[in-house]
Amino acid sequence: LGRRVLTLDADNDELDALLAGLVHTTAPDLLGVYGVGVDTAAILLVAAGDNADRIRSEAAWAHLCGVAPLPASSGKITRHRLNRGGNRQANHALWRIVFTRLGSEPRTRDYLERRLAEGLSKREIIRILKRYVAREVYRHLPR
């Protein structure tokens, strides 16, 4: 059992190195985005590559990732809700980036505190941040 664990660990390290090499050659700028690691970048690149014909604009990329806001207004209240469609893996990758930033980037934490003071819920703020991150990631995707 111990040898099997060591073998699988070595295989995992090999695959991680291979994936890192592929991501570095395909989209080195994407790895420069705060909170984007090799695994997250690979997920986003796969989502973009699988749907290259659908990504004509930044808004189309956001819609593909499931972070384009949908209007959910009623009466005098103007709200948007989260899009439940799109590529769930890409959406989760954006979620991981947002939570990495919330934990370690002062600018994002300040934004969270400011929007909480304005009366938005944490869920709404995360939705807004995911949309912002999708916009930033789109600028770094290879064309």
Task: Please compute Rg for the chain using Cα positions.
Answer: 18
Domain extent for 85: 2-140
CA distance 111 to 125: 9
Question: Which pLDDT value is given to residue 1?
Answer: 82
Query: Residue 32 contacts by C-beta under 8 Å, 6 or more apart in sequence?
Result: 140
Domain count, the chain: 1
Q: Minimal CA–CA distance to 62: which of 123, 134, 127? A: 134
Residue with tokens 């989760």: 92
Is residue 41 within 8 Å of residue 30, measured between CB atoms?
yes
Q: What are the pLDDT tens digits along the chain (143 aa)?
A: 899 999 999 999 999 999 999 999 999 999 999 999 999 999 999 999 888 888 889 999 999 999 988 887 777 877 777 777 888 999 999 999 999 999 999 999 999 999 999 999 999 899 899 999 999 999 999 87
